[in-house]
Amino acid sequence: MASPNQRSYIKDLAVLRLKEFKEFKEMIYAKGIVSEDAETVAKAESIDAILDATTDEQASRMIEALLEKQPPTRSRTYSDKRAKKTIELLDKIKNTVNDWSYDGLQ
Amino acid sequence: MDYSRLGTTIRKDLQEAVANILNPEVDPEIRQLNLEILLREVGTSVYDTIYAMAAYDMEIEYTTGAGMTNFYYELAKKLSDSVSVGGRSNAIAWLDEWLESQILKGEYDAFWTAFESGKHPVATRTEPSDCCPWCRLHVGTFVEPDSEVFRRHDRCGGVIRVSGYRSRNGTLSGRGWKTVS
């Protein structure tokens, strides 16, 4: 079973080296760390679910595979459209909270 | 008073705003930073409003609360990381829990301030039918309850709601309070 240190390191590396979770599955299939018909991996919705069924040797190979990967190029800013939409949602939330009243609570 | 039902009015918008920030193309640190800002803004707004509402109910409307919980740093990191490590369905549950915790903290902070100010707040404790015998013994409505009333088992899932003089007399409606700044 993967050790707590391995789990923590794998998760930290995954955040740094992978954009999305599905890339983790693709990586461990491609490296032959798990077989392609491994049901646990296919159904897993998080790295935790995969690591729960991982041996320490498999965990070591996952770490090696992650270290081999180059960090992806990522933006440090959001698009104007996305930023504007988020600000609109925040304003909407604040306005809704500002309209809270006792009516219907008692 | 069950203030938690107010949280449902912003739940969807909050989830949408978080989903907007969780863009895989953006650096995890930037995502986390933006989530921290969003959660702090929403949390402060929710906490201050709930505290003001509960304080008015308990006739201590001239007071201010200690402020929202600091759990949002950890939550922002967990949400940001969920893009790469999965667990998005857990992320929604974490967000709901966090929102509920801001509401509860606003209620409880007002309760304790009222209690210490010599007011007469009331706590009503309910438990699900499958709770343990010890929690069942603590079910009821308590005027000026001591801390024993608030001891509970997480696994039993009991809910404790607090109220003040005004709500017990049915004199609360609309927006009676003003936020103290």
* pLDDT of amino acid B41: 97
Among A4, A45, A71, A86, which Cα is nearest to B85's?
Answer: A45
Give tens-digit pLDDT for A58-90.
999 999 999 999 999 999 999 999 999 999 999
Interface list for B 123-152 with A (CB within 8 A): none
* pLDDT of amino acid B168: 79
Domain interval for residue A58:
4-68
End-to-end Cα spacing for chain B? 24
- Residue B76 to residue B81: CA distance in whole angstroms: 8
Over 90: is that where the pLDDT of B149 sits? Answer: no
pLDDT band at B179 (very low <50, low <70, confident <90, very high): low
Over 90: is that where the pLDDT of B70 sits? Answer: no
Give tens-digit pLDDT for B100-113.
999 989 998 999 89
With beta carbons less than 8 A apart as the criterion, state whether B53 and B160 touch: no
Half-sphere exposure of B70 (CA within 13 A, CB side): 1
Residue A22 lies in a domain: yes
* pLDDT of amino acid A64: 96
- Residue A32 to residue A43: CA distance in whole angstroms: 17
For the residues A29-33, what does the mean pLDDT come to? 92
pLDDT band at B178 (very low <50, low <70, confident <90, very high): low
Q: With H, G, I as helix, E, B as strand and everything else as coil, classify residue B123.
A: strand
Over 80: is that where the pLDDT of B52 sits? Answer: yes
- Residue B81 to residue B112: CA distance in whole angstroms: 36
For the residues A36-44, what does the mean pLDDT come to? 85
Over 80: is that where the pLDDT of B173 sits? Answer: no
Residue A88 lies in a domain: no
Searching chain B, which residue's CA lies closest to the CA of residue A51?
A: B85
Q: Which two tokens stand for residue A41?
A: 């991996």
Among B114, B78, B76, B103, which Cα is nearest to B159's?
Answer: B103
Judged by average pLDDT, the poorest of A32-41, A91-100, B37-46, B168-177 is: B168-177
Residue A74 lies in a domain: no
Over 80: is that where the pLDDT of B180 sits? Answer: no
Task: Determine contact: B175 vs chain A, CB below 8 A.
Answer: yes
Residue A83 lies in a domain: no
pTM for this model (two decimals): 0.87
Searching chain A, which residue's CA lies closest to the CA of residue B10?
A: A93
Residue A30 lies in a domain: yes
- Residue B99 to residue B8: CA distance in whole angstroms: 9
Residue A85 lies in a domain: no
For the residues B111-118, what does the mean pLDDT come to? 89
Distance from CA of A25 to the nearest CA of B (A): 10
Contact between chains at B34 and A18 (C-beta distance less than 8 A): no
Residue A55 lies in a domain: yes
- Residue A29 to residue A26: CA distance in whole angstroms: 5
pLDDT band at B169 (very low <50, low <70, confident <90, very high): confident
Searching chain B, which residue's CA lies closest to the CA of residue A47?
A: B85
The percent of residues in chain A predicted with pLDDT above 90, rounded, is 82
C-alpha distances out from residue B166 to B52, B111, B171, Å: 13, 13, 5
Q: Which two tokens stand for residue B43?
A: 């949390």
Residue A105 lies in a domain: no
Domain count for chain A, please give it: 1
